[in-house]
Amino acid sequence: FACIDWSNSDFFIVLLSSVNREYQDLFSSENLSQLHQVSLHFELQFPDQTFPLAHMQAELLTAFKSQEPRPSKLQREVATALTRIGWDHVFEFVTEEGLSIDMAQPNTMTAIEIDGPSHYLSSKEKQRIENGRTKFKSRLLRQLGW
């Protein structure tokens, strides 16, 4: 759903409602982190419905926020250049929802993401196409007003 910009509440409800409490211990921290992003999407896309794993929200957010940002050299260089030209920003800003933004001006909700080659898929035409993870994060940030 992340790659094709498709979303259906019934899909999420059926899929996630099948997760019994007894199986929740089998989720890795990375799995829980990904489910947090799905919960954000669900809440933004379907505000009048309850996320099927709502009872795990705190655990999902904790797993998501526990992932350490890994800024690239290019990201650091861009941040330094922006500072040099007087663009005040927060480096590796974390939103209330736990999303990490490479550089941000929170008061104006302006975000800059430095996306290197790992954020793209290759195509035969040598076009750069955002991978699912990058596309999904971009969509979440836009939905949150960034």
Q: Return the pLDDT at 103.
A: 97
Q: Measured between alpha carbons, how far is 55 from 1 in angstroms, rounded to an integer?
A: 23
- The closest alpha carbon to 111, from 125, 100, 122, belongs to 100
The reported pTM is 0.74
Mean pLDDT of the chain: 87
Q: How confident is the model at residue 60 (pLDDT cuts 50, 70, 90)?
A: very high
**Per-residue pLDDT reduced to its tens digit, 129-139:** 888 788 889 98
- Residue 6 burial (CB count, 10 A): 8
Q: pLDDT digit string (tens) for 40-50?
A: 989 988 999 99
